[in-house]
Structure 1
Amino acid sequence: MKLIVSLIKRKWVKWVFVVGLLTLGFFTVIYISVFLGAFGKLPTKQDLSSIKQSEATQLLDTEGRLIGKYYIYDRQPLAFADFPKHLIDALVATEDVRFYEHDGVDNVSLLRVFVKSIILRDRSAGGGSTITLQLAKNLFGRKDYAMFSMLINKFKEAIIAKRIEDIYSKNDILTMYFNTVPFPDNTYGIESASRKFFNKPAIDLNYSEAATLIGTLKATSYYNPRLHADRSESRRNVVFQQMQKYGYLSQDEVDSLRTQELLINYKSFNHDVGLAPYFREAVKKELAAILDTLKKSNGEAYDLYRDGLVVYTTLDSTMQAYAEKATKEHLTSLQIMHEKSFGNYAPWQNEKVVNAALKNLPVYQKYKQAGLTESQILDSLSTKRKTELFGWEGDTIQNISVIDSLKHYQKFLSTGMLSVEPQTGAIRAYVGGIDYRFFKYDHVSQSERQVGSTFKPFVYTAAIEDGMKPCTYFSLSAVTYTDYDNWTPTNSDAKEEDPYLNYNLETALSQSVNTIAVKVLNKVGIEKVVQQVEKMGIDKELPKEPSLALGVAEINLKDLTGAYVSYVNNGKPVKPYAITKIEDKHGHVIASFKPEIAEEAAYSDYTREVMLQMMQSTVNSGTAARLRSSYNLKNAIAGKTGTTQNNKDGWFVGVTPKLVTVTWVGNDNHRIGFKSTSIGQGANSALPIFAKFYQKLNADKQFNNITKSHFEKPSQEVLDDLDCEPEKRDGFFKRLFGGSNKEKKFNRK
């Protein structure tokens, strides 16, 4: 007692006591101020009882597999039953071993931290944060309050944590925590993290995977398993040790688990990368229009990025992966061939071509509007900086200017590919370009290009429907159409030099003869062909001139696909579609969609059967014969190649009984085409994508129903009408007295 009195009388003890009281008073004032809302209103128990969190909209393929998300925060919520026990054990052992004992704030842990960290200076003491405190931070974030930010935020979190504990059970708290906690790569919630890093739902995480993800919570960037595998594995092993320390694992189990190699199966759902980015972007635009017409029960509009919708699509993710792989395989080699063909005279290096493209750039327009002179703009665009560049062999970072970058990107060939189920129009594979990160323009939904010889089947369809027999013969000879500026279409084949050689319709189409296609158009009449094309679902203004037969019309790839579908869909065109239904986060269907199929056939069964036989000849012995000879495809395939003027566009349409696929290859800059027809023709530029795609389908037994399907047998009438010699020569007297066929008028009707 005397000792205590003696100490109290000492001045330094009084100062310590006073400072302690002042400190306690300060903390008390801050705490009360926070509690009363001086630093912002705290959520009440009523607010906390109806916590609403932004949830990512999920995009599923036709089998229910996740192919993408739309989100501000990448989050997918789960129920408590969806968390494996070892995941929960790993979290509690590592982050909050007294979780089931405290009321949100672990006073014992706080005292331990205070003694070890502040008094004993032990940096390994750890933190005093609990799972509930972390949840409070995850839900409501932190604000900047200048020099007392940490203290104020900690008090706010402590008050919120206690209120959460008063309302929710421990299992509810764990559920909310797992659904909101941030993981590496801007990922929120265990389900999103599990699917991103291991490509599986959280319920299927094994011990190693669960411990890896829990380990990242200490520092999501530092322990990111994608970027720092060694650090992440080391941290995973620490989690194992914590689980052993608190009785969740035996030492033998830990020793066994530590030997397992850390393997991730990363699947990014970033908007610019991952599977089917062009498809996901196209669906997003479609969803925006759909959601504008829908309201929640409370009258609010749906938010694509926050409301946790589930969008079911027609895409087959396996077929999509095959399509993307086929595209990459072919274009990697075609690009090399394309560049080598020009040598030192590449058009993407041509000053006129570059300058014309430069003036279309947004940055050029921005400088122009700002009042800069031409020389000032060019000077600015010549400034070099580090830039990431796309390349088929791998991306690189180079020190280049905007002009250099333009030259680099202008050389690349682009592509569009669409595969649909002909009976419904359901989109199964969709490739809008070569890499969405660098080339945003979608050649499936946005682009319209000249379709070349892929238009010829429409001309022949109109002719057959109009009564022309398949064994009608036309001369290969060139004809000048005097009422169209003396236009004279020619063929690339040397046989055009023989003016007395005649082909029937099947041979003319399979060999893609230009002169005969125009003659057939002239015989039928432009108007009838245009009307036939309209019946086949292509509703746009077409050029009413003889060159229409050669595909000068610019048509969207989706429309072209929908028209070709009619040949294996009882003559009925379809509108390719991507979305089957949309559910809200509670599983209620808020919108559903059915195939858009024409009510009436665009032509007769006779015409359809004839055209299918003729397009099969294109594959078996015509311009697409390399499908058989080079790629050894034995499937039932009808098709048509297409090449446009100056080799600007290469096309191939592959028609099979249960899948119709259209591929296009060309350059985004219309000034740049292929150097030669041998490289740019559809059979060389576009057909191989289809061929490689089908090779992959053939190798996968799950697609046997598609790859092993057969065309229906044509009627005897069709077989009889096609039974004629493919070609014939004019006889002596016709050659002698047949007269000139070099000039004629064109039939517009």
Structure 2
Amino acid sequence: MAKKRQKKQQQNFFPFIKWFWILFGAGVFSVVLIFLLASWGAFGEMPTFERLENPSTNLATEFISSDGETLGKLYLNDNRTPVTYEGLPQNLVNALVATEDARYFDHSGIDARGTLRAVAYLGTKGGASTISQQLSKLLFTEKPSGGVERIIQKIKEWVIAIRLERQYTKEEIIAMYLNQYDFINNADGIRSAARIYFGKEPADLKTEESAVLVGMLKNSSLYNPMRREELVFNRRNTVLGQMAKYGYITEEAKDSLQGLEMKINFNPESHREGLATYFRMYMQRFLNRWVEENPKPDGEKYNIYLDGLKVYTTVDSRMQRNAEEAVQEHMKNLQAEFFHQNTPDRNPTAPFLDLTRGAIDTIMDRAMRRSARWRHLKRDGVSEKEIEATFHKKEEMTVFDWNSDSYEKDTIMTPMDSIRYYKTFLRTAMMSMEPQTGHVKAWVGGIDYKHFQYDNVIQGSRQAGSLFKPFVYASAIDQLRYSPCYTLPDNQYCIEPGKHGNMEAWCPKNSDGTYSGEDMTLKSALANSVNTITAQLIDRVGPGSVASIAKSMGVTKEIPEVPSIALGTPDVSVYEMVGAFGTYANQGVYVKPVMVTRIEDKNGTVLYEYTPETKDVLSKDVAYAMVNLLEGVTQYGSGGRLRHTFGKNQTVYKEIITGYPYELTNPIAGKTGTTQNQSDGWFMGMVPNLVTGVWVGGDDRSIHFDRLAYGQGAAMALPIWALYMKKNYANEEIGVSQDAFEEPEEMSINIDCSKEQEDEEEEKIDTEDDLDDLDF
């Protein structure tokens, strides 16, 4: 009976067992089917992950300096430059695995234990998302709108995670994940994040720094180091705790690291911030021209924002930083003095000088019509009357300010007032080049690219003033074989009307309006920028010869063949003048300035290599004679303050010149330049392996210092050169020469004026002896 009852119970229970296995099998089959359907695309197109391995649509173009540093990047939305797994520090990998996926190296894309735990505890004890799943999640560009869509996306993530594990190694997946993640603040990928938040490459990250970045992976917007310092600090320590929990660091190391202050070294990477901004924007224009002329093999154009080009430049990041610091140090001080001299009481028309109200209104109206606001509203179809009205309505804006740590301040003013405000700031340009190769080592186009985007290195051209005189002297030495010791009288000198195409007689005065009446050597005359001597030289060689030699040395602007060019009436750019002066330092060979040595695609294939453009302009002895002349400028001429005190103007100059005394003792050739009314101040300085040009002036020629003491090139431009060179010399690794210029083996032009004086005295004695022998 008992057996019967037991058998009947088993028969009654059997259907439950059968249905259990049927349902279980159906469930498993359903799950498998769902994953199969997802992999077949039944729930919508699956996002590809090819771009993770071959990211052809989201790589920034990278500008690399001659010393191997990244100067900056060009990108639209993704500031991303991938690194390989080998480029990641082990402490970063350890922090990632300990925090995000402790069993990462043991599973195949899905962590079963983690998933069961998440289901059992409804996610209260951590999620189940593996690193592979998190990487797959990054492939979805749109967030699901509802619960069903989220479930479907989660299924897709699982499928992709398994595929990723089959196609890539664990190490490759880690690298791809860190390269793909958006760390905000334009920090796309781990390399940008390391550079932006800590100013270093990923391989150089310390353990506590890696912990900050890994902590951001939970939610980069929430754990933003620039906004929520305490929250990020606590999250960093949580990551360090996880590293200790899984044995990647000791408890002692954890306690020590958790006690460290969190030091964020924020280095924003945007088109308007960072190192070499003006140079990078020039490179953008260069690349735009290059892609037009150099298509891909399939005929398509390279995209300079997305194709991941690597542009190897000639700029040295250390010298560039020195140049920018020198500009900031001097220009801030110089601007303070300019403001002091242009208060409403001292100058009611500030910042303009010697202009009528009508002339000022014309300048302001022209500036308004050239502004970006005018162009944008005009393009939108707004009438000119309505556009002009907007320029007189006050609004909130952020403007440049030297006295702020960030060089910015918030204010309220009208757009027209802001135009006038910006015109009060003196502008500058600086370029530094290696004369033997033409390699440009530093490029500063202005005081702050974010607020002053006009590049005065290559876009701006201003009168050269006395900086043009060496072209006259070079013509005279080259054609007439004059030596630096050749003498001419310092007397008033006039060139007759019509002799060289001039309509009227040209009788230039010296800068102080006086004439010594004494004979002066060419070396002394150039050192002291004596106009009468220069006038005599251009009269002898002709303006055409001077214009020709200037063009041969890289000046591209039109040069009228009239005598007045001797005093620097032509407009030139800093870019042109640096290339031209490089001819003297390079033994008479002009080398066109070079900014790019090669361009590679994302795979390292070389797409472009530069070919030097050179031209023999002067013989070696003429070039060296010119160097000797220009050395006189820094020995006892207007550039002498590089070496010694300012004499009677010492008090005046100390007010505006930063870093004085400079006390440079090495051989230096140079030339100052000052235009009429002190509108432009120039200085060109040369050592054997570096030529550097500096210009300082206002946005308009009517914006200038009232006194020559403040507005001459020796006060406005020369200090930037001096500060820059002292910074270069402080770092011996840069290798800027302090040696003498190399003299040619066969020097046919005498540069020893003491010897020439002895020869003249001997010749005079011989002549007197001959006269004594004559019988009258």
Residue 383 (structure 1) aligned with residue 393 (structure 2): yes
Amino acid at match of 2:489: F
Contact 1:104 1:161 in 2 (8 A): yes
Q: Distance in 2 between matches of 1:48 and 1:410?
A: 48
Deviation at 1:196, TM superposition (A): 2.5
The answer for the alignment partner of 1:618 in structure 2 is 633
The answer for the alignment partner of 1:719 in structure 2 is 751
Amino acid at match of 1:112: R
TM-score (norm 2): 0.83
Structure 1 residues 377-433: Cα deviation after superposition (integer angstroms, max 9, x where no partner): 343112222211111122111122211211221111111111111111111111111
Query: Structure 1's 585 and 112: CA in aligned 2 closer, same or farther, altered over 3 A?
Result: same
Contact 2:639 2:670 in 1 (8 A): yes
The within-5 A match list for 1:551-590 is: 551-590=568-607
Deviation at 1:482, TM superposition (A): 4.2
Amino acid at match of 1:719: I
The answer for the alignment partner of 1:58 in structure 2 is 62
The answer for the alignment partner of 2:118 in structure 1 is 113
Q: Distance in 2 between matches of 1:323 and 1:514?
A: 32
Deviation at 1:695, TM superposition (A): 1.5
Q: Distance in 1 between matches of 2:65 and 2:83?
A: 20
Contact 2:495 2:539 in 1 (8 A): no
The within-5 A match list for 1:299-698 is: 300-344=300-344, 345=347, 346-348=349-351, 352=361, 353-367=363-377, 376-394=386-404, 395-467=408-480, 469-470=482-483, 471-477=486-492, 479=494, 481-483=496-498, 484-496=503-515, 500-598=517-615, 600=616, 602-629=617-644, 630-698=661-729
Residue 710 (structure 1) aligned with residue 740 (structure 2): yes
Q: Distance in 2 between matches of 1:48 and 1:535?
A: 51
Amino acid at match of 2:750: V
Contact 1:469 1:721 in 2 (8 A): no
Q: Distance in 2 between matches of 1:538 and 1:370?
A: 40
Deviation at 1:46, TM superposition (A): 8.2
SS at match of 1:532: helix
The answer for the alignment partner of 2:186 in structure 1 is 186
Contact 1:451 1:555 in 2 (8 A): yes
Amino acid at match of 1:364: W
The answer for the alignment partner of 2:103 in structure 1 is 98
Deviation at 1:78, TM superposition (A): 2.4
Which of 75, 79, 85 is equivalent to 2:84?
79
Q: Distance in 1 between matches of 2:378 and 2:706?
A: 34
Give the % identical residues. 38
Contact 2:634 2:640 in 1 (8 A): yes
The answer for the alignment partner of 2:22 in structure 1 is none
SS at match of 1:719: coil
Q: Distance in 2 between matches of 1:476 and 1:444?
A: 37
Amino acid at match of 2:350: P
Aligned residues: 695
Q: Distance in 2 between matches of 1:388 and 1:268?
A: 18
Contact 1:433 1:443 in 2 (8 A): yes
Q: Distance in 2 between matches of 1:632 and 1:502?
A: 31
The answer for the alignment partner of 1:731 in structure 2 is none
Q: Distance in 2 between matches of 1:376 and 1:176?
A: 52
Structure 1 residues 686-735: Cα deviation after superposition (integer angstroms, max 9, x where no partner): 111101111212222224x4242211347474135675689xxxxxxxxx
Residue 142 (structure 1) aligned with residue 142 (structure 2): yes
Q: Distance in 1 between matches of 2:55 and 2:140?
A: 10
Q: Distance in 2 between matches of 1:590 and 1:457?
A: 40
Q: Distance in 1 between matches of 2:158 and 2:695?
A: 61
Contact 2:634 2:669 in 1 (8 A): yes
Query: Structure 1's 431 and 166: CA in aligned 2 closer, same or farther, altered over 3 A?
Result: same
Contact 1:338 1:675 in 2 (8 A): no
Contact 1:476 1:513 in 2 (8 A): no
TM-score (norm 1): 0.86
Q: Distance in 1 between matches of 2:314 and 2:95?
A: 39
The answer for the alignment partner of 2:230 in structure 1 is 230
Q: Distance in 1 between matches of 2:177 and 2:529?
A: 64
Deviation at 1:153, TM superposition (A): 3.1
Query: Structure 1's 164 and 698: CA in aligned 2 closer, same or farther, altered over 3 A?
Result: closer
| Structure 1 alignment gaps of length 5 or more | 1-22, 727-749
| Structure 2 alignment gaps of length 5 or more | 1-26, 645-660, 759-776
Contact 1:145 1:152 in 2 (8 A): no
Structure 1 residues 501-557: Cα deviation after superposition (integer angstroms, max 9, x where no partner): 443322221111223322321221111112222222324421222221111111222
SS at match of 2:261: coil
Structure 1 residues 588-607: Cα deviation after superposition (integer angstroms, max 9, x where no partner): 32221133221x2x123332
The answer for the alignment partner of 1:208 in structure 2 is 208
Question: Alpha carbon RMSD of aligned pairs, Å?
Answer: 3.1
Structure 1 residues 636-664: Cα deviation after superposition (integer angstroms, max 9, x where no partner): 11111111122221111102111101100
Amino acid at match of 1:508: A
Structure 1 residues 329-371: Cα deviation after superposition (integer angstroms, max 9, x where no partner): 1101111112222231243476524333223223235556767
Farther off after superposition, 103-112 or 400-409 = 103-112
Query: Structure 1's 288 and 256: CA in aligned 2 closer, same or farther, altered over 3 A?
Result: same
Query: Structure 1's 82 and 360: CA in aligned 2 closer, same or farther, altered over 3 A?
Result: closer
SS at match of 2:72: strand
Amino acid at match of 2:104: F
Query: Structure 1's 378 and 480: CA in aligned 2 closer, same or farther, altered over 3 A?
Result: same
Farther off after superposition, 608-617 or 352-361 = 352-361
Structure 1 residues 417-465: Cα deviation after superposition (integer angstroms, max 9, x where no partner): 1111111111111111111111111111212211111100001111111
SS at match of 1:182: coil
Deviation at 1:41, TM superposition (A): 1.4
Amino acid at match of 1:640: K
Query: Structure 1's 117 and 388: CA in aligned 2 closer, same or farther, altered over 3 A?
Result: farther
Q: Distance in 1 between matches of 2:381 and 2:186?
A: 40
Amino acid at match of 1:614: L
